[in-house]
Amino acid sequence: MEIIPAIDVIDGKCVRLSQGDYSKKTIYNENPLEVALKFESIGIKRLHLVDLDGAKQGKLINYRILEKIASKTKLKIDFGGGIKTDEDIQSIFDHGASMAAIGSIAVKNKSLFYSWLKKYGSERILLGADVKEEKLAINGWLETTDVLLFDFINENILKGVTTIFCTDISKDGLLQGPSIELYEKIISKFQKLNLIASGGVSTIKDLEKLKDIGCSGVIIGKAIYEGRIKLNELNKFIPC
């Protein structure tokens, strides 16, 4: 199971929200590159970089942060937030992203999303499924839809998607544990899917549970920033 730390960016700073609420923002570091370098120093290979300003405003804003981290580290970065057009997705790849993390567009403009999947390949597209009571939420979690999670996953697997990260918004940023039951349901229903868990991780035991049920990766944010999980504790999950 791959450990994927998250850096969420607002105003160029490393922050975390609680349950996607922009009014519940905590700033953890004014320099996201410094945070990324710390992760790289312990052997982390992946980074989940989210432009929260971009997600809220519907356009790329913090792409220079992406460029800086990509040029100063060897981290494989998936970047999300504000990717709405062909120009946007090409821009994030040009600025150093290895993968594009796509959520809202896959719900609101399926034909555009499928064109990206065809053009760039499933290995460069990371589909995000942000859920509230098993229905999708989009636009930086500001809008809940009537799209059912399992229908959404099935439809996209049929189009060639191989990896999905799923965030239970009710758990995110609360350090109350991940949605184990939800992830078990997804894994049992879609056995060939690479599922990355996101949201709620608060202890090393949470990571062990997610590994045991078969998650291919886990995105961790607040638990690291709040010191609930020490960086050296992650060694057991990082290949030498």
The tokens for 25 are: 């923002």
> Any idea which residues carry the catalytic annotation?
8, 130
pTM exceeds 0.85, yes or no: yes
Q: Where are the alpha helices (DSSP H) in the chain?
A: 32-41, 52-57, 63-72, 86-94, 104-108, 110-120, 149-158, 180-189, 204-213, 222-225
β pairing state of 76-80 and 99-102: parallel
* CATH code for the domain of 196: 3.20.20.70
**How many domains does the chain divide into?**
1
* Residue 29 neighbours by CB under 8 Å, 6+ apart: 13, 14, 35
| pLDDT average, residue stretch 221-227 | 92
Nearest C-alpha neighbor of 217 from the set 166, 141, 171, 169: 166
Domain residues for the domain of 103 are 2-237
Q: State the DSSP H helix or E strand holding residue 125, giving kind and residue range, or none if neither.
A: strand 125-132
Q: Does position 18 have pLDDT exceeding 80, yes or no?
A: no
Furthest CA-CA distance within the chain: 44
Q: Does position 171 have pLDDT exceeding 80, yes or no?
A: no
- Exposed e or buried b for every residue in 173-191, given b needs 16+ CB within 10 A? bebeebbbebbeebbeeee
pLDDT at 55: 86
Sign of torsion, CA 124 157 183 82? positive
Q: How many CB atoms lie within 10 A of CB 141?
A: 23
The tokens for 78 are: 């998936």
Task: Identify the burial level of 22 via C-beta atoms within 10 angstroms of its C-beta, where 0-12 means exposed, 13-18 middle and 19 or more buried.
Answer: middle
pLDDT at 174: 61
Q: Does position 217 have pLDDT exceeding 80, yes or no?
A: yes
pLDDT at 176: 78
Sign of torsion, CA 56 59 63 66? positive
The tokens for 218 are: 């886990």
Confidence band for 142, pLDDT divided at 50, 70 and 90: low
Q: What is the pLDDT of residues 84-140, one digit of tens each?
A: 999 999 999 999 999 999 998 999 999 999 999 999 999 999 999 989 888 898 865
Q: Report whether 100 contacts 93 (CB < 8 A).
A: yes
Helix (H, G, I), strand (E, B) or coil at 133: coil
